[in-house]
Amino acid sequence: MNGKYNIAIGFLTMGFFMAYGFLLIYLRDFAPGKEEWVNSYSLGKHFEVRLAHVHGNLFAFLNILIGYLLLHFRGQLKNVKAISWLSLIGLLMPIGILTEVYLGVPPALVLIGAVAMTAAVVWFGVSFISLKLTHEK
């Protein structure tokens, strides 16, 4: 795991959550009972699925960015594999929201994913602070 899978899975995940956005548009504008859906904008399932859509795309983008940077700086950074894995595990957060809403699964995946992505981003930030670039003195 050196970043390649973060980029690939990030794009695939982003594609999924973009397509999921089309479902949300359908539910808002075209589905039978759309008025009820619109009226529950900040409540219950409607709010939760919007959270999943937004976080799914955000975490997918973070995986793409992290993957690119891991590939570019892999020779200069430590813990590339761990950061890569934590970023991928972070995708469990939006997936966990969907499984909670649609399948009634407890929110453990949400928490695991949120902690993993936060750890990956902080760890990556600390890694870059200590990075010695070739053009620095």
pLDDT digits (tens, 9 = 90+) for 3-18: 999 999 999 999 999 9
Q: What's the burial of 48, exposed, middle or buried (CB within 10 Å: 0-12/13-18/19+)? A: middle
Tokens of 123: 């760890």
Give the model's pLDDT for residue 34: 87
Give the model's pLDDT for residue 137: 53
Which pTM value belongs to this model?
0.91
- Spatial contact of 71 and 84, defined as CB atoms under 8 Å apart: no
By three-state DSSP, how is residue 134 classified? Answer: coil
Delimit the domains of the chain by residue range. Answer: 4-129
Residues sharing a CB contact under 8 Å with residue 73, sequence separation 6 or more, in sequence order: 131
